[in-house]
Amino acid sequence: MTMLDNRQKYILKLLIHNSPQIFTSSDLALLTNVSTRTIKNDIAVINKFIEKYDLVIKSQPGKGNWIDSLIGIDSDLERYLNTSLDSDEILDYQIIQELIKERSYISVEEIADRFFLSSSSALRSIDKLTSELNKFGLKIIKKPRYGIKIIGEEQDKRLMLVRIQMLTQFGKEVEDLETENSLFDNVKSIILGFIDKFNLPTTSESIKNLITYVSISVERLLAGNDIEFPSGDIDEITKNIDMSYGRYLSDKIENQFNVTFDDSELAFLNINLLANNLVVMDNEESNSSNDIYLTYIYKWVNKLDYTFNTNFKENRSFMHFLTQHIKPMLIRMKYKIEVTNPWLDELKSYQKLAFEMAIFLVSEIMNDFQYPVTENEIAFLAIHIGAGLEKDKKQNSFDTIIITDVDSATISLLRSRLEYEFPNINITRMMTGEASLEFEFTNELIITTSRFNNVTSNTVLVSPILTEQDLKKINLKLTSKRYQLSDFIKQDIFFCSMEFSNKAEAINFMGNKLQEYNYVDNNFATSLMDREEYSTTAIGNLIAIPHALSGNVYEEAIGVIILKEPIWWDTNFVQLIFTIALNKKNSEILTNIYEQILSIGDKTEILKEIIQTKTYDEFLKIILEL
């Protein structure tokens, strides 16, 4: 079966998600940094791939490429598009999987033969994943005349095997998971029966994680590979986790497969149950370890509140659910157990502020616990933070006064329509035109159905029935109260037609300029690169938004770099860079700015105009017209 490479996946996702929007071949070439000829070849390959899903990319000379309006897409296709691996990367992981399963040295030639590769190609695949193996505490040993071998603790080998399995089957539902033997099906039956018996709260991802882990554990035990845990770790786990669920499950597995779960195996099984939120930590008041967790969590949230001017620590619901999440998260981080967040890309794109606050929270956690953390963990924290921010949204609403002399029924209709069309307005008062003459207005939005003398700059005159024109006027007034991207673009930190070979050069250049012109301190400039270690700041559509985790902002500003040619930035090509130096304490500013930058990426023609600008004035004119 033909597989799509990552560029072709990106094109298909872009056309599906923006259906029926038309993209010219030049648009697609700009966004992927290839020629229009390559785009036309890609469209042909994609169409061949998607014909089995009853989809087609339509192309018309002089018009462009598009997919007709969609109600939904095939679930198999959606899952395929959501995996970040191409066929070459899947092969790399399969080679590593084979090496882990080998108990002794194996020659590179033999590995190459198994996958119909040359020895040099096999070695390249292995070398590409060396750093990832190191993150799991595993090392590749190459010994002349003996061959190659992966060494490390058994639990680390299992977790790497779980990661490989989850990556290569990303997005599949439990019933669709592929297996080459009956062992997996038997494990799946035991796990589903176990979950049903105890009526455990689960997600599709947690079930898949557990089935995959137990299947790999059984295979490893049958091959004579046992986990050996230090007795101190076993004692800590036994003290803090309800072990009864793990004992029940291990009994079922032992009876089915004739394997033995000793104390170490049982401990690690329970760690996996906890990490997937299928069991809870011991909640006794006397358990001092819980007090330690709570002390840390309140410290981290206090720092989050101070930095972003939020008040999460007073939100009891938020603190309860965050605590319930962080406890198993720390276990996952300690033992390098990975979970998949199916909404990672969406959270990074559409919950930018929540995601940035989650990164800040993780940085505080890592100051106290030096455990590795993944983007998926950050994304789960972003969900909790996003929910907390939504509850506080009323604090960012626009106080509104309605002035009208119409009858009560029409007033009721007017108010209902306003609240429906503009959820972010907070109607604080309704008054007659006469009463308004004596009223002292401050900064409220005033919506009136009749002319009166006490007019402010925030007044909008409307019909009691609210016409489309009225709605546009109100929306314009609300928009004008937002913070504008153009307010923070400064000429001395605007650079176009620049040439850099990588993101580090671009980030360091702008960090130095921001410091040189006294917008930020040295800590801020240094922290720009530190932030990149947690998650890429490339947001797609040729745009990146680097920003710092720490440091002081003396004057709020946004530095702009327009590159002569795109550069590769972790996961995407980037040609337009907004370096954000804003005060984190004003979440409204951050939200407004993120939204406006994201909107540039959604407008291909505007993006092309910006990239072609040669002066600050040209750039600013385009930004002002957004």
Handedness of CA 142, 143, 145, 150 (dihedral sign): negative
* Fold annotation for 83-152: Arc Repressor Mutant, subunit A (1.10.10)
Among 66-70, 115-119, 475-479, top mean pLDDT goes to 115-119
pTM over 0.85: no
CB 200 within 8 A of CB 242: no
d(Cα 268, Cα 246) in Å, to the nearest integer?
9
Q: How far is CA 466 from the centre of its chain?
A: 39
Q: What was the pLDDT predicted at 396?
A: 56
In percent, how much of the chain has pLDDT > 70?
91
Which CATH class for the 485-624 domain? alpha beta
- Tokens linked to 467: 């016409």
d(Cα 605, Cα 619) in Å, to the nearest integer?
14
Question: Is 487's pLDDT higher than 90?
Answer: no
In the chain, the amino acid numbered 10 is Y
d(Cα 138, Cα 161) in Å, to the nearest integer?
12
Residues of the chain within CATH 1.10.10.10 domain(s) are 6-82, 83-152
The CATH architecture to which 6-82 belongs is Orthogonal Bundle (1.10)
- Closest listed residue to residue 527, CA positions, set 550, 554, 504, 544: 550
Question: Is 388's pLDDT higher than 60?
Answer: yes
Q: What was the pLDDT predicted at 147?
A: 93
Among 232-236, 310-314, 318-322, 495-499, top mean pLDDT goes to 495-499
In the chain, the amino acid numbered 366 is M
| Number of residues in the chain | 626
Q: Which DSSP helix (H) or strand (E) runs through 163?
A: helix 154-168
**Residue 562 banded pLDDT, cuts 50, 70, 90:** very high
- Mean per-residue pLDDT, 397-408: 84
- CA atoms in the 13 A half-sphere facing the CB of 479: 12
Q: What was the pLDDT predicted at 457?
A: 67
- Mean per-residue pLDDT, 204-226: 90
Residues of the chain within CATH 1.10.1790.10 domain(s) are 288-391
* Fold annotation for 288-391: PTS-regulatory domain, PRD (1.10.1790)
**Residue 287 banded pLDDT, cuts 50, 70, 90:** very low
Question: Is 156's pLDDT higher than 90?
Answer: yes
User: Residue 561 forms beta bridges with which residues?
Assistant: 495, 577
* Fold annotation for 395-480: Rossmann fold (3.40.50)
Q: What was the pLDDT predicted at 76?
A: 67
Beta carbons within 10 angstroms of residue 72's beta carbon? 6
Q: What was the pLDDT predicted at 398?
A: 78
d(Cα 39, Cα 601) in Å, to the nearest integer?
19
d(Cα 371, Cα 137) in Å, to the nearest integer?
12
Residues of the chain within CATH 3.40.930.10 domain(s) are 485-624
d(Cα 538, Cα 527) in Å, to the nearest integer?
17
- Closest listed residue to residue 4, CA positions, set 93, 126, 88: 88
- Mean per-residue pLDDT, 216-234: 91
- Mean per-residue pLDDT, 156-167: 88
CB 312 within 8 A of CB 304: yes
d(Cα 379, Cα 272) in Å, to the nearest integer?
20
For 492-520, the three-class secondary structure string (H helix, E strand, C coil) is: EEEEEEECCCCHHHHHHHHHHHHHHCCCE
Residue with tokens 């072709």: 8
- Mean per-residue pLDDT, 223-234: 88
Give me the torsion for CA of 444, 445, 447, 452, rounded to 10°.
60
d(Cα 348, Cα 354) in Å, to the nearest integer?
9
**Residue 83 banded pLDDT, cuts 50, 70, 90:** low
